[in-house]
Chain A
Amino acid sequence: MTIGKMLFASVAIACIAGPVSALADTAEKKIALSNNYAGNSWRQAMLTSWDKITKEAVEKGVVAAADPFTTAENQATEQAAQIQNLILQGYDAIVVNAASPTALNGAIKEACDAGITVVSFDGIVTEPCAWRIAVDFKAMGESQIEYLAKKMPNGGNLLEIRGLAGVSVDDEIHAGIQAGVEKNPQFKIVGSVNGDWAQDVAQRAVAGILPSLPEVAAVVTQGGDGYGAAQAFAAANRPTPTIVMGNREDELVWWKSQKDKDGYETMSVSIAPGVSTLAFWVAQQILDGKEVKKDLVVPFLRIDQDNLEANLANTQKGGVANVEYSLEDAQKVIEAAK
């Protein structure tokens, strides 16, 4: 997202906030964020975005409150208890990033029965009474292979870095990558490791498998692991393959330095942590009485060779490339689902 677009977004918020506060349909409503984990940079950016956008909304009188709550341990039982507390505290809507797609269903149902609007995002829940803002992770995986197929029509060997084993997001991105490879049989996955979406874990896993791999043409990833992979290739004195990045600042900086050095080309894709703000506006719209489909899809944030510099300039040092959503963006997403 360019600066211009962000400016446009903030102007849009400013313009819309006026009429909304006049209508005041949701001015008395309280929204809570129930979050299961805060222990990485993506989640920290997610919370910062929430803070920034909701503070503005509260100041303008769009809603009465928008308080974030994070559980200490990444556990479904703890989050279920937290949601029950939020019900008792009388929130009108609860926005959830869930520890588990199914284990919170009981608590979510209780909230719905109490007349509370529940919107889940990123870590979505299967309980039918809740709204879901999902990312098409499968398409995210497939888009990597499509990009590579265009870049290297003759194909080659791929190394796949997966995320945290047992998490649904990992399975979905992996399924997308597999589907892509089936469509483009010139590519062959010669190795697969779990990088747990962390640079140091990815670096270690890649360093361990690299000595036994033939020449690798490209590395497909899930985000948060590209820089570690690049380090491992450099440490093993191997030629740097095309490594798909995941929007982290250190990845983008590394990409930029390679690009300046020898025209290195790749792409970067991930979900913007600001998706929490989209969930906030969707919840606000539902409280406002708008009709909203239960399943919404949020686009992923992709960075390419030509908009690398612009995105890098927008990314906080040491953070993640981010987009914060406005009420207008939310309305567009809601429209698109109809």
Chain B
Amino acid sequence: MNFFSLPSKPWIWSFAATVIVWIVTVLFTGGASAFGLSQAALTFASFYVIVGIGQMFVITLGPGNIDLSVPATMTLSGTLALKLMDVQDSMIVVGLLVSVLLGIAIGIGNYALIKLLRIPPIIATLSMSFIVQSTAIWANRGLRIKPPEVLANFTTSTLFGIPNVAIVALILSAVAWLLLEKSIYGRWISAIGQSMFAARMTGIPVDGTRLVTYILCAALASICGYLLASFSGGAALNMGGEYLLLSIAVVVIGGTAVAGGNSNIPGIWGASLFMFLVVSMLNTYGFGAGFRLILTGLIIIAVILVAGGRQAGR
């Protein structure tokens, strides 16, 4: 890749927007806030990245594929894991395992609804999310249980100035990148996203691939819920709420084709950092909530237009 091919990379635009917003925000204090802001952005963007990657795999499967059960999965995973660990450090690994298994179960449930009952993914995952959310309410009635201390410390501390959660997100991203770019599985989901019919004709195991993708998405949402609940000192029933739209937004802003068949991981990082920084920038400059929401919307549209325009002209 030489320098001149950079503008044709769809993910470059989310990073360009991120850098601009970062500079504008840091200018407010004459540069003094640069380190603190970067660290906060890395921390909170990590959660967006983890759910974003899962959603990206699902969206890559092609038109109509989306997972709306992400917020409920996060809530249930956080709630159950923390309840199970019950503040004991010795249970941290067990909690993580249970949370991943839970994600796998929800993913299987999602695809079972889609395949066996022939329900469109948007409805299937929405129904699943009602079941999962109700289970979370029933499981603990919204009571907040503290995370084990070692786990809480791990999620809130840094290694050489880089937040630990960002390192976890980076490792997960690297694995996802390998899956997507270097493995046969990645080729398969791209092929299915471009044309499911053609993929079936060429002998790609379409159902198996789609099942694995929905499982992957739910498992990542589970891991995110586990980390977020540990990071913020307990699970809350509404903790997943805004991650539904965010998980889709970071995929789209990051330059993944909404129509499927084309995805990229770096863009998710750019978009996640951008989504956090844009809110911080508008807060820093003291805009009111209404104005802030309008501006956020306009800025997102602008970024997508610029990125999409370039892609079309390629």
A residues in contact (CB < 8 Å) with B: 38-45, 48, 72, 162, 165-166, 191-194, 198-201, 203-205, 207-212, 227-228, 231, 235-236, 248-250, 316-319
Which residues of B246-299 have CB atoms within 8 Å of chain A's CB atoms? 276-277, 279-280, 283-284, 286, 289-290, 293
Residues of A within 8 A of B103 (CB): none
Known A40-B237, A203-B232, A227-B233; further 5 A-B contacts with Cβ < 8 A: A41-B144, A199-B236, A211-B37, A228-B233, A236-B40
Interface-side segment among B25-33, B184-192, B213-221, B305-313: B25-33
A204 CA / B246 CA spacing, docked (Å)? 14
Would A192 and B283 count as touching, CB distance under 8 A?
A: yes
A41 CA / B276 CA spacing, docked (Å)? 26
Check B195 for interface membership: any CB of A closer than 8 A: no
Do A207 and B133 contact each other (CB < 8 Å), given the known contacts A212-B33, A249-B144? no
Check B234 for interface membership: any CB of A closer than 8 A: yes
Do A39 and B276 contact each other (CB < 8 Å), given the known contacts A199-B233, A201-B242, A212-B33? no
Would B293 and A165 count as touching, CB distance under 8 A?
A: yes
Residues of A within 8 A of B293 (CB): 165
Would A250 and B234 count as touching, CB distance under 8 A?
A: yes
Min distance, Cβ B292 to any Cβ of chain A, angstroms:
8
A162 CA / B232 CA spacing, docked (Å)? 18
Closest partner residue, chain B, to A197 (CB atom): B238
Q: Contact string, B29-56, partner A, CB cutoff 8 A, digits 1/0?
A: 1001111110011011000000000000
Interface-side segment among B106-114, B116-124, B135-143, B170-178: B135-143
Q: Which of A44, A192, A199, A211 meets B142, CB within 8 Å?
A: A44
Residues of B within 8 A of A204 (CB): 44, 276
Closest partner residue, chain A, to B141 (CB atom): A44
Do A72 and B280 contact each other (CB < 8 Å), given the known contacts A44-B137, A165-B289? no
Do A319 and B143 contact each other (CB < 8 Å), given the known contacts A200-B236, A207-B43? yes
Residues of B within 8 A of A227 (CB): 233
A63 CA / B217 CA spacing, docked (Å)? 50
Residues of B within 8 A of A317 (CB): 143, 145
What are 22 sample pairs from A and B whose C-beta atoms fall under 8 A apart? Answer: A39-B133, A40-B236, A166-B290, A193-B283, A203-B232, A204-B44, A207-B40, A208-B276, A208-B280, A211-B29, A211-B32, A211-B33, A211-B37, A212-B25, A212-B26, A212-B284, A236-B40, A248-B144, A249-B144, A250-B144, A316-B143, A319-B143
Residues of B within 8 A of A41 (CB): 141-144, 236-237
Residues of B within 8 A of A318 (CB): 140, 142-145, 234
Min distance, Cβ A209 to any Cβ of chain B, angstroms:
4
A227 CA / B150 CA spacing, docked (Å)? 19
Residues of A within 8 A of B228 (CB): 200
Residues of B within 8 A of A212 (CB): 25-26, 28-29, 32-33, 37, 284
A208 CA / B292 CA spacing, docked (Å)? 14
Residues of B within 8 A of A45 (CB): 142
Residues of A within 8 A of B237 (CB): 39-41, 44
A203 CA / B155 CA spacing, docked (Å)? 14
Would A210 and B40 count as touching, CB distance under 8 A?
A: yes
Residues of A within 8 A of B280 (CB): 208-209
The 4 closest A-B pairs by CB, nearest first: A211-B36, A208-B280, A318-B143, A211-B33
